[in-house]
Amino acid sequence: MTTPRLIKSIGRSPLRLALLPLLFACFAIAQSAQAAESNEGDLIGNMAEEHGAVPKLGSGTQNAAAGQSAPRQIGHNKWVIPIDFTKPLQCAGGNVIVHANLVVTFKNVPDVGVVRHELKLEGFSGTATNGSRKLEANPKDLTFLPYVKVDSKNGGPSFGFTFIVTGPGFQQGVAPLSFNVIYNANRYKFKDGKVTHLNADDTPLIKCKK
């Protein structure tokens, strides 16, 4: 009869009471871990959904935000300025889209420095979206602007250039389309007779010809 009393007394002992909070704590930790796992899964799922949605929502604005690509050197004192823009024009009845490469060469003039020398427009393609009209650029219309400025702030000269783009009118009886493309401040730096850096005008002026 002694053994049952001993077991009963142990069952009601302080040791059991001390273990109860520990059991509850372990249970709470397990529940928290499970909830964190669930939240983490939701977060990853949401991130994946957002990541998948970005190209769909931003693809239209991403191209517009990309803007002009940086000029690149292709030879001794020879650089390419990428031309890439979409612009709404009243005379076009909608947007005009233009892509081309402007090749500019420089020459070293003794006692003067490196100056702009020649221009060439390569790979031109253009479209007026209203009516999908093909645009053209006449190489003879590509010229330097008649000034050379020295940029005292950035420590280098700058030059400008312009060309004319033409195309059919956007409807019958409307005059043919014609607009100017003007790049004003194209700044460059040179050293030892060689152009070392070129910054193209990132806000070209596009305007209809009257």
| Closest-CA residue to 183 (of 203, 210, 157) | 203
* Confidence bin at 21 (pLDDT 50/70/90): low
Using CA atoms, how far residue 96 sits from 130, 170, 172, in Å, is: 9, 11, 18
pLDDT the model gives residue 182: 96
pLDDT surpassing 80 at residue 168: yes
Distance in angstroms (rounded) separating the CA atoms of residues 96 and 88: 6
Rg (Cα) of the chain, in Å, rounded? 35
Tell which wins on pLDDT, 9 or 67.
67
Selected residue with higher pLDDT from 145 and 171 = 145
pLDDT category of residue 155 using cuts at 50, 70 and 90: low
> What's 139's DSSP letter?
G
Q: Would the pLDDT of 42 be above 60?
A: no
3-state DSSP of 41-56? HHHHHHHHHHHHHHHH
The secondary structure of residue 153, as a DSSP letter, is: T
Q: Of residues 90 and 21, which shows the higher confidence score?
A: 90
The residue among 4 and 87 whose pLDDT is bigger is 87
46-93 pLDDT, tens per residue? 333 333 333 332 322 222 333 568 999 999 999 999 999 999 999 999
Q: Which residues of 122-131 are buried (b: 16+ CB within 10 A; e: fewer)?
A: eebebbbeee
pLDDT digits (tens, 9 = 90+) for 95-111: 999 999 999 999 999 98
Q: What is the pLDDT of residues 26-37, one digit of tens each?
A: 445 445 445 444
Query: Nearest Cα to 128, choosing from 102, 100, 165?
Result: 165
pLDDT tens-place string over residues 113-124: 999 999 999 999
Q: What is the pLDDT of residue 171?
A: 83
Which is higher by pLDDT, 176 or 156? 176
Residue 52: what pLDDT?
37
DSSP E strands: which ranges in the chain? 72-75, 78-89, 94-109, 113-128, 133-137, 143-151, 156-167, 177-191, 194-199, 205-208
Q: Is the pTM of this model over 0.75?
A: no
d(CA 99, CA 181): 12
